[in-house]
Amino acid sequence: MRFPSKPEELDLHERVLGGDPLAPTDIFGAFVDPLAAVLRSELGCRDEELMYDAAVDAVFAYLDAPEVYDRDRARLSTFLRRIATVRLVDRLRSTSRRREREENFRASVELRAEAPNVVMERAIEARELSKYVEAALPDGRDQEALKLILAGEGHTVRLAAVLGLGGLPADEQKLAVKRHRDRILKVLERMGEALDDDDP
Amino acid sequence: MTTPRWLASAAVESANHGWALGSVLKQYQEIEELTSQELADDLGCSPTTLRWICLCRRPAKNRFAEDVSQIAARFNIDLSRLVAALRRVEVVSALRDGLPIDADDSELLLAARDRKPGSREDP
pLDDT of residue B121: 40
- What 3-state DSSP class applies to A168? coil
Q: Measuring CA to CA, which residue among A71, A70, A48, A52 is closest to residue A60? A: A52
- B56 contact residues in A (CB cutoff 8 A): 21-22, 24-25
d(CA B88, CA B30): 12
- Residues of chain B with pLDDT below 70 are 1, 99-123
Quote the Cα angle for B116-B120-B123, to 5°.
130
pLDDT of residue B41: 95
pLDDT of residue A79: 97
**If 0-12 CB within 10 Å is exposed, 13-18 middle and 19+ buried, where does residue A160 land?**
buried
Q: How far is CA B100 from CA B24, B81, B94, in A?
A: 20, 25, 7
Report the half-sphere exposure of B9 (CA within 13 A, side-chain side). 15
A128-158 pLDDT, tens digit per residue, is: 777 777 888 888 888 888 888 877 777 888 8
Percent residues over pLDDT 90 in chain A? 40
- B55 contact residues in A (CB cutoff 8 A): 24-25, 28
Q: Measuring CA to CA, which residue among B42, B21, B23 is closest to residue B84? A: B42
pLDDT of residue A183: 86
Question: Among A99-103, A110-114, A126-130, B11-15, which is the least confidently predicted range?
Answer: A110-114
Do B55 and A20 count as a contact with CB atoms less than 8 A apart? no
Quote the Cα angle for A75-A80-A81, to 5°.
95
User: Which among A39, A49, A60, A91 is the top mutation candidate for probing chain B, defined by the most B β-carbons within 10 Å of its own β-carbon?
Assistant: A60
pLDDT of residue A139: 86
Q: Measuring CA to CA, which residue among A89, A12, A24, A91 is closest to residue A61? A: A24
Task: Please check whether residue A38 is in contact with residue A81, taking contact to mean a CB–CB distance below 8 angstroms.
Answer: yes
Do A22 and B21 count as a contact with CB atoms less than 8 A apart? no
- B10 contact residues in A (CB cutoff 8 A): 28, 32, 56, 59-60
Do A24 and B52 count as a contact with CB atoms less than 8 A apart? no
Q: Residue B1: which residues within 8 A CB-CB, separation 6 or more?
A: none
A59-87 pLDDT, tens digit per residue, is: 999 999 999 999 999 999 999 999 999 99
B103 touches chain A (CB under 8 A): no
Between B114 and A118, where is the model more confident? A118
pTM of the full predicted structure?
0.64
pLDDT of residue B122: 39
Do B71 and A22 count as a contact with CB atoms less than 8 A apart? yes
ipTM here? 0.80
d(CA A105, CA A82): 35
Task: Please check whether residue A55 is in contact with residue A31, taking contact to mean a CB–CB distance below 8 angstroms.
Answer: yes
CA torsion sign for B104, B110, B113, B114 is negative
Quote the Cα angle for A29-A30-A31, to 5°.
100
